[in-house]
C-alpha cells in the first residue's frame, strides 16, 4: 500500500506522514524518517555550498552503507542527478564512466578504497558525513544566496517551489556491461515510482515491512530496494556489506520481511543449512538465469522464493513468479507485474520463441548521449530487450536465452544456457561459461570455459554425447582456474576473453 502522492519529494512526504517511523536500521544506529530528512537536508546544503547545482550529474562512489541513501536524497533536494558508480571497478573504468555520463562532481565516501584517490578529476569531494552533520552547517550558513529545496518548511511550500516533477531525471544507472561497454540508462522519478507500484500490486507493501539492503546500490536491483522502502514508508536494514557473511548476520539480527538475492547467494544459504525466519514474506531472486532445482529446493525448505525478470532499462523486475507456482512452472519467469505488457516478436514457427518486447510505465527514458541506441531499443513505447523467450497458453514467460547467449552455428540456433546446464551436471565441473567465436566454416563456433581439476576434454565430450545433439557440443574447451564474475554473479566476459588470449 502506497500512501504518498508522488507530487513532492518522497522523503519530505514520509517525514510529514510518519516522522518517528524507523527509516534506516544498522548494527550501530537507527534513523527515523525525520532524522533521515534532517541529515539529508544538512548534506544537501553542504553540497550546494561546494557548487553542486540543479541538473548537475553527480557521481557517487561509496561503500555499502546507509550514507548512500542520505547522499541520494541530498542530491535530489538540490535537483541534481545521482550517478552511482561501481566501487569494484578500476580507476580507469571509473574515469571512463565519469566522461561517458557527463559527471560534474564526484562524491567519494571516506571509507572507500584509497586507490580512488588516483582518479584524475577536478571536482572530487571526499565526504566525512559525521563531521559535516556535527558541524550543523544548516545553522551557521543558510542558503539564502543559493536556495535549495530543503529550505522549504513543509510539503506544500516545496510543491510551490516548483523544484520537483515526476518527469525530471532521477537517476543515471550503468548497466552491468557483462558482454560489452556499460550503457548509461536514464530514469525519471515517474519510472521509479511506477516500478514500486507494480511490485505493490504483487506484494501489498506495508509500512511495517523491513527491507534488507542485500544487493549493491550501483546495480538497479540494489538501488530500487531503497526506493521501494522510501515510497512505501517502510524500514531498510543495512548489513555491513553485501557479502554473504554480512547478509546472513543481518538476516538473523534484523529479521527482514523482504530480501533480494542472486542465485549464488541463495545456494550458499541452502548449502550452509540456513533456514528462513518466520517474518520473511518474499525472497526476490534475479540477477540472471535461475537454476530451477535451486528454486525448488529453496521453496521446499521454506524460502518464499519469487523468480523475477527485469533489467536496468525496466527499472528492475517487470515479471514475477509467485512462490506457490515454483513447483508448477519451475522454468518460467512468471507473468507481468501490474500493468506491464509483453509481446514476442519474430516468433519461430517451430517453438514460438522470439525476442521479448516489454511495455511498462517503469521503462527508462533514454540512454545518455546515445540517441541511435535509444531508437533501436525503444520503439513506439515498447522496449526491445534483446532476450529470447516464449509465452505458454497461460501467458507465463519462459526466457530461453539472452540474445548474447544465442549461438547460431552451421545454421542451427543453440542456447548457450542449455549447453551450460548440461555441462554443469557433470560431477567434476565446478563452473562453466559457454560462448561463441566467429568461424569461417560454422559462422559461430561453440566454445566452453570450464573450471575443473580432474576432467579431460575427451571425458567431457563423451559425457555430452549422451545428453546433447552433436551440433550443440562445444568444439573448443578451455580449462581455467576460475571464471571471473561481478558481484551480481554475471560473467565478466571481456576479462575472461583476455585471460584466454581471445580478445
Summarize the confidence of residues 162-175 as an average pLDDT. Answer: 85
Task: Give 317 or 411, the one with higher predicted confidence.
Answer: 317
Distance from the Cα of residue 170 to its chain's centroid: 16
Residue among 191, 189, 271 nearest 9 (CA): 189
What pLDDT does residue 290 have?
Answer: 62
Residue among 127, 132, 95, 133 nearest 109 (CA): 127
Summarize the confidence of residues 473-477 as an average pLDDT. Answer: 93
Pick the CATH number of 410-499 from 3.40.50.300, 3.40.50.2300, 3.30.300.30, 1.10.357.10: 3.30.300.30
Summarize the confidence of residues 185-212 as an average pLDDT. Answer: 97
Inter-CA distances, 240 with 256, 373, 456, Å: 15, 38, 42
* Percent residues over pLDDT 90 in the chain: 63
Cβ-based neighbour number of residue 140 at 10 Å: 8
What pLDDT does residue 197 have?
Answer: 96
What pLDDT does residue 139 have?
Answer: 56
* HEC letters along 58-69: EEEECCCCCHHH
What pLDDT does residue 289 have?
Answer: 60
Mean model confidence pLDDT for the chain: 88
Least confident piece of the model among 68-72, 87-91, 401-405, 471-475: 401-405
Sign, Cα dihedral of 392, 363, 172, 212: negative
Task: Give 297 or 264, the one with higher predicted confidence.
Answer: 297
pLDDT at residue 320 is higher than 60: yes
pLDDT digits (tens, 9 = 90+) for 455-471: 888 899 999 988 887 88
pLDDT at residue 233 is higher than 70: yes
pLDDT at residue 261 is higher than 80: yes
CATH 3.40.50.12780 domain extents, the chain: 10-390
Task: Give 89 or 16, the one with higher predicted confidence.
Answer: 16
What pLDDT does residue 89 have?
Answer: 81
Q: What is the C-alpha radius of gyration for the chain, rounded to an integer number of angstroms?
A: 23
What pLDDT does residue 344 have?
Answer: 95
Helix (H) or strand (E) holding 397: strand 397-402
Helix or strand or coil: residue 54? coil
What pLDDT does residue 288 have?
Answer: 60
> For 402, which DSSP code?
E
Position 416 confidence tier, pLDDT thresholds 50, 70, 90: confident
Summarize the confidence of residues 433-446 as an average pLDDT. Answer: 84
Helix (H) or strand (E) holding 329: none
pLDDT at residue 441 is higher than 80: no
Least confident piece of the model among 29-33, 162-166, 379-383, 485-489: 162-166
Position 181 confidence tier, pLDDT thresholds 50, 70, 90: confident
Residue 384 burial (C-beta neighbours within 10 Å; 0-12, 13-18, 19+): middle
Match 521501494 to its residue by C-alpha cell. Answer: 228
Summarize the confidence of residues 351-380 as an average pLDDT. Answer: 94
Fold entry, domain 10-390: Rossmann fold (3.40.50)
Q: How many helical (H) and strand (E) elements, i.e. helices and strands, does the chain have? A: 16, 26
CATH 3.30.300.30 domain extents, the chain: 410-499
pLDDT at residue 47 is higher than 70: yes
Distance from the Cα of residue 481 to its chain's centroid: 28
pLDDT digits (tens, 9 = 90+) for 10-38: 999 999 999 999 999 999 999 999 999 99
What pLDDT does residue 153 have?
Answer: 37
Match 544456457 to its residue by C-alpha cell. Answer: 417
Inter-axis angle of helices 244-254 and 263-271, nearest 10: 70
Length of the chain counted residue by residue: 503
pLDDT at residue 179 is higher than 90: no
What pLDDT does residue 404 have?
Answer: 64
pLDDT at residue 254 is higher than 50: yes
What pLDDT does residue 403 have?
Answer: 58
Position 159 confidence tier, pLDDT thresholds 50, 70, 90: very low
pLDDT digits (tens, 9 = 90+) for 91-135: 888 999 999 999 999 999 888 877 888 898 999 999 888 888 887
* Percent residues over pLDDT 70 in the chain: 90
Summarize the confidence of residues 173-189 as an average pLDDT. Answer: 82
Position 1 confidence tier, pLDDT thresholds 50, 70, 90: confident
Long-range contacts from 90-95, C-beta under 8 angstroms, 24+ separation = 91/115, 91/116, 91/118, 91/119, 94/59, 94/61, 94/119, 95/119, 95/120, 95/121
Amino acid at each position: 500500500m502506497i500512501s504518498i502522492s508522488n507530487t513532492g519529494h518522497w522523503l519530505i512526504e514520509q517525514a510529514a506522514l510518519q516522522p518517528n517511523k524507523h527509516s534506516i536500521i544498522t548494527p550501530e544506529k537507527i534513523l527515523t524518517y525525520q532524522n533521515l530528512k534532517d541529515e539529508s537536508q544538512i548534506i544537501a546544503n553542504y553540497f550546494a555550498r561546494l557548487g553542486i547545482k540543479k541538473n548537475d550529474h553527480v557521481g557517487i562512489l561509496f561503500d555499502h552503507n546507509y550514507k548512500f541513501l542520505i547522499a541520494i536524497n541530498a542530491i535530489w533536494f538540490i535537483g541534481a542527478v545521482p550517478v552511482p558508480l561501481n566501487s569494484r571497478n578500476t580507476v580507469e573504468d571509473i574515469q571512463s564512466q565519469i566522461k561517458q555520463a557527463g559527471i560534474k562532481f564526484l562524491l567519494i565516501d571516506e571509507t572507500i578504497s584509497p586507490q580512488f584517490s588516483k582518479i584524475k578529476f577536478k571536482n572530487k569531494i571526499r565526504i566525512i558525513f559525521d563531521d559535516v552533520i556535527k558541524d550543523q552547517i544548516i545553522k551557521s550558513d543558510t542558503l539564502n544566496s543559493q536556495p535549495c529545496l530543503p529550505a522549504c518548511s513543509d510539503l506544500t511550500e516545496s510543491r510551490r517551489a516548483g523544484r520537483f516533477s515526476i518527469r525530471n531525471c532521477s537517476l543515471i544507472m550503468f548497466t552491468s556491461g557483462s558482454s560489452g561497454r556499460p550503457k548509461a540508462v536514464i530514469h525519471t522519478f515517474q519510472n521509479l515510482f511506477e516500478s514500486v507500484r507494480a511490485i505493490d500490486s504483487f506484494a501489498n507493501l506495508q509500512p511495517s515491512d523491513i527491507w534488507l539492503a542485500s544487493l549493491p546500490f550501483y546495480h538497479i536491483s540494489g538501488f530500487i530496494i531503497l526506493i521501494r522502502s522510501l515510497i512505501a514508508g517502510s524500514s531498510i536494514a543495512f548489513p555491513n556489506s553485501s557479502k554473504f557473511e554480512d547478509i546472513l548476520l543481518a538476516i538473523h539480527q534484523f529479521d527482514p520481511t523482504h530480501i533480494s538475492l542472486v542465485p549464488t547467494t541463495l545456494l550458499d544459504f541452502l548449502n550452509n543449512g540456513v533456514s528462513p525466519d518466520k517474518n520473511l514474506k518474499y525472497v526476490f531472486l534475479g540477477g540472471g538465469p535461475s537454476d530451477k532445482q535451486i528454486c525448488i529446493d529453496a521453496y521446499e525448505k521454506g524460502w518464499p522464493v519469487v523468480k523475477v525478470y527485469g533489467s536496468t532499462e525496466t527499472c528492475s523486475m517487470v515479471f514475477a513468479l509467485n512462490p506457490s507456482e515454483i513447483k508448477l512452472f519451475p522454468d518460467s519467469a512468471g507473468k507481468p507485474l501490474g500493468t506491464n505488457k509483453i509481446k514476442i516478436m519474430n516468433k519461430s514457427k517451430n517453438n514460438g520463441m522470439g525476442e521479448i518486447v516489454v511495455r511498462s510505465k517503469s521503462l527508462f527514458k533514454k540512454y545518455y548521449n546515445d540517441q541511435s541506441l535509444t531508437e533501436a531499443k525503444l520503439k513506439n513505447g515498447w522496449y526491445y530487450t534483446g532476450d529470447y523467450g516464449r509465452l505458454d497458453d497461460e501467458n507465463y514467460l519462459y526466457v530461453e536465452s539472452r540474445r548474447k547467449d544465442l549461438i547460431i552455428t552451421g545454421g542451427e540456433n543453440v542456447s548457450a544456457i542449455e549447453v551450460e546446464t548440461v555441462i554443469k551436471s557433470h560431477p567434476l565441473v565446478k563452473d562453466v561459461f559457454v560462448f561463441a567465436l566467429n568461424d569461417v566454416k560454422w559462422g559461430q563456433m561453440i566454445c566452453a570455459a570450464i573450471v575443473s581439476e580432474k576432467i579431460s576434454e575427451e571425458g567431457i565430450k563423451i559425457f555430452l554425447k549422451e545428453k546433447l545433439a552433436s551440433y550443440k557440443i562445444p568444439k573448443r574447451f578451455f580449462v581455467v582456474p576460475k571464471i571471473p564474475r561481478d558481484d551480481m554473479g554475471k560473467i565478466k566476459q571481456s576479462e575472461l576473453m583476455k585471460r584466454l588470449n581471445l580478445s
